[in-house]
Structure 1
Amino acid sequence: MSAAIMNKSMSPFVKIWVVTIVIIAGILIVSAVSFRMLVKNTAEAFNLQQLFLVRESSRGIGEFIRNVETGLRATADLFAISPQKKVLEACFNRYQDVMQVLFLVAADGSISHVVPPDTLDQTVHQSLTTARERARSSGQTIFCTDIMPLTLAGRRHISLVMGVAVPRSDQWVCGVVNFDNIKQRLIYPLRSGKTGYAWMIDKNGVLLAHPNVAMEGRKAIEVLRELWPEYSSFNLEIIIDRAMTRGEEGSGEYTGWHFGEKQLTKKLIAYSPISMNGLLWSIGVSAPYREALEPVMQSMVGPLVFVGCFIAVILLGAWLLSVQERRKAIVNQELAWSNEVFDGIADGISIIDREYRVLMVNRTVAQWHGKPQSVFKGLPCYKVYQQQDGPCEGCPARETFATGKPAFRDRVSTSLGGRKYYFQLTTFPLKDAAGNTIRVAECVKDISREMALQQELLQHERKAMIVKMSSQIAHEIRNPLGSLTLNIDLLDEELSAGTSGDMSEARRLITTIRSEIEGLNRVLKEYLECTRFPAIQPELQDINGIVGDLFALLEEDLRRKKVVFKTSLEYNLPPAPVDKDQIRRAFLNIILNAIEAMPGGGTIEVVTRSSGAWIEIVFSDTGPGIPEAILEKIFTPFFTTKTGGTGLGLSVAQHIVTEHKGDIIAESIQGQGARFTVRIPRGE
């Protein structure tokens, strides 16, 4: 309700500025929220990058340890085929990049075959014994000591010892791994951001590797508390105690000491475990939070300037919008009027592109075809209008595209809903700015009624002429024919009474004369029938019965001329109000026309069916068909293509059907026969 009142009371100018203020406020709010989300997403993305780094480092350390294990197992397997001393020397030369010393440990714990000689500190015995017994008791064939300081060849190293059981023996082949080498190769080089670094702890939280070497060997949490007694990094304690020392992988953030910094620093951390042969280490990489956000903060200058410019553009747009809306309203109104005119035109209008696709049609075209306007869009015009597979011969649209000028075609015919229509077709070019014809407007005017009226007028004129001519012919010819017939009969009687001479030639001539006179009488009868169309006397009749009577009447003639007569009559066909004699005469003329079209024999089929308020009687034959050029003329009086024909049979049939308020439609496919469909109203 309040929105409706505001819409009525507020002017368009006020509405535009209210919307503008709301948009600007929304932009500022969205910008603030987006900045917070950007900071959060940047931190998460940075931690994902750090997590990828520690994973790769963990994988590298794991591969390093597995290389040591592989070397030791290869050495143990070779003891079965070669002297142990030589095997140890050869394998040391092969794996000296990962192992500092190789040696054997007997079942009693004694050490032998040290390679290189005199390099192993005896302080390693206790750690070896503990790790070896732990592996033996658990049924394992490999052990690994904790990281410890060892003196090798007079130099102190941070190392660990890995041993592998010799197959079918109580001996263990052991190797000393220089952990300093691991740190230098796989931990210290790891960097994140500008100053971020990696560090490693064991399962007890003791630092094994750190850029500040003085911290190594001490618990990480204790070192932090020692540096800042007044501050406790609760987050870091949770990360170390509940995740890293338990072999979990993840990322997070905490506040703590950073190498090279004098103050506590908020940091991002990612960590990944290294677990093998009883060892559990965790490597982490951390970097200051500000280093992750520094590129974002630098990149925010541009967006802030953009937002400011955007707001300025919105303010300018708000001022221009009212002018644009006013112009838009005028254009929309004119467009609506144009569409109303386009759809209101009684003629059919189609817009066609250069591929002869229909782009749009007006309401008249849709009504003609009984389909929605949207159905026509994208269909080829020749397919939807003429049911053809390619452009029509003499297509006016093609001419307009070629010449850029309007084109006109008269009496274009097509079939819609089973009926034939005639159109006047005019095409107009629609050009682009360069003057090229890119589309064609096709205007179609239905002239079917005008054609029908012209045809009807012509029929009436010809029938009037027939009446006049037939009356004159009947008057001038029939009386002499009657006199000739009487005299020939008398002559025939005289010849019959005579007894002398050969009368065969005279009788033959009399027969010929009588035959010709009968032909003239038959022609006169047809002409006179055209002048004496009695008024129809309609009564409800059984159409199927009329068709059956015709078959009985023509049965002998059909058999003689080798014509098969087939029927498909609808059961319980409703009766129709017809003049039985007249409608039978119309049907007979159609059937006789079909018989004459098949001098060598063929098939005539009659189908009856009800169709809504109509009864349809379809006559089809298997003759040569009717050429398209003369199909429109077959109902014209005196038009015939048969020698000796009068051209009145189909004209009479059309007249009778029309008198019954029906119509007759002729269709034909050249070489496949003709079909005549008679439609008459059904009874109430």
Structure 2
Amino acid sequence: MKLLSPLIRFGADAEELFKNKKGSEHQYEVMLAVAQVMSSSLSLHQILNTSLEMICEQLNIDAGAVWLLDEDGIKLQLFSHFHVPQRVLEKLEEEIDVRSDPIWQQINEGRQAILLEEYPKPELAGMLKREGFKALAAIPLIHHERVLGRFGLGRRNDKPFTEKELRLLTGIGEQLGTAVANALLYEKTRLLARQMEAIFDAAQEGFLLVGCDNHILSFNRAFAQLLDVEPNDLAGKRCEFISEQLKQKVKDKNLGDLLEHINLIETNPNEMIEVEFEMTEPNRILSCYSRPVFDEHNNRLGRMWMLRDITEERSRQEEMLQLERFNALGEIAGGVAHDLNNTLLSIIGYAELLTHAGLDERSKTFAERILTSARDAAHIVTRMRAFYRAHRESSKRTLIDINQLLKQVVDLTSNRWKDDAERKGITIKVVTDFKDVPQIEGIAPELRQAFINIILNAIDAMPDGGTLTISTWQDSSQVCVAISDTGIGMDKSIQNQIFKPFFTTKEKGTGLGLSITDRVLKELGGTISVESNPGNGSRFIVCLPSRSIKSKPPEENESFEPHALRILLIDDDSRSLEVLKEMLKALGHEVVTAGDGIKGMNKFRQRLFDLVITDLGMPGMNGFQVAEAIHAIAPQKPVILLTGWGDTFEEEQLQHTGISNILRKPTTLKTLQEILSKVVSK
């Protein structure tokens, strides 16, 4: 009716003109004929072409043309023409700038048809005269006081346009302007509908709309594909058809839960459901979401269904879970291996010393058997350690864009900070501030897991919602990442323990997430720290080296017998300390021992030593810190790092901390002698 109302008024105007003016019957017929054209179509070209032809024929006009204003309101473009000579048409097709066009200025100000004594452009005016045109008129196309364009008419005979004709043409221009506006709106609406339909049909998620009578109204291609049915099978069906298809194709283990949800919405149409299930044919996992659709007055219009293939997503989550479990096993195995290596060091060390202690033949045989069994046990520990490290050591480090990786992490965790949060009725806002930073070298899956662990902890710390902020920046030769939340925060006692395996403050937590993250980052030469206060949220800061990793130069095999050395031996394990002392003395060296790093540094400052052997894992001051402290006092002093963890170290890390070589537990007299020779020879 909105589209027809201008035409109804147009008919009323025509009827009034007929009643009040004698001899206007022909003009009345023209107006009604044009009104019929405008009401019969919403095609812009058809309306303008037919209307222009009818006006010319009914009013004995020889030629005509219609121009429409562009969207910017600056240029007039030829849109339709009737019986315009070819030479003239070529000139009319040129764009007209309304800012400098006198005809436009007249009709835009007067809003009525005008007579043209002569066309303003001399070249075109000459052409019109040569073609015999003697009477010209310009008429505005008006809609809601806005001029949308104009049409021009020309006669070759001597009959001028009368005042009555100009009033008629002004009225036709107003009604034609309304028809043009409606046609343009229709075209825009059709274009928008086609674009929306294309987007709807191209979506990877499957969508389906059902009316209140349970008949299917619309669906996209993905919905039919995910349901594994032909699109023609869905068209016109009732919603029960979908339920039957799901019942046939869902695995038995999920069927009960699915039927419960379907029954729920059948008994309560206003209910919203979300359920996951595994299909049998084809074998995939789907997420099904369904909710009612309401209009602006809260009247139910129907129901929307969405199907999403989450097979790969669940596969990735399962891989991450397996990796976390495997890493947890690695943490346990690593701890066991460390303790066993300390014990085996004592067994192997003392057994070797016994074989050189001048025992009788029978006792020496027993000592050699002990030594053989202990070496076999050490080999088993090495194989166990290699097993839990194999998946990481086989992975090659590559150049990584940390900003891109973090974007992937944000996307991978969106089900927690967006979907789960919305279901709980809370909002978690994610803010990113990524600076232009260099690439780093690392193993992308491990780094993703590390950052996912941090983000999931941050989400769990905001039970009432909040803001998660992720930022990156460069600090000297490091790339840093900060992940901040506005959650409950934590006190110092918790901060001191959060990176320890199996420590958790959650009811269902494993206590492994942050410990794995800490280990992954340390293996890449990075660090992680936390800033937090109760009630004020937490901020985790990760820094990773941006430098490339250099390959370790090949070692030269040299035979060198060191003279008697004065050695400082530092280890917090008393058994390891004692047996290594005896082994070094058996090799002819003077040994001073210390039970931790701080005591060791005190003794180092008091006496002169040829070299230092320090354990890696010690309370208060670890082996790296001891090496750095010694390097600061005596840069040329050799330091051997003793470890039972089976760690791998980069050459740059060793050089940076002043470590000359690595001695792994359990060791033998031969290995100990070779490492001492190598270090002293340098």
Q: TM-score range by the shorter chain?
A: under 0.3
TM-score normalised to the size of structure 2? 0.24
TM-score normalised to the size of structure 1? 0.24
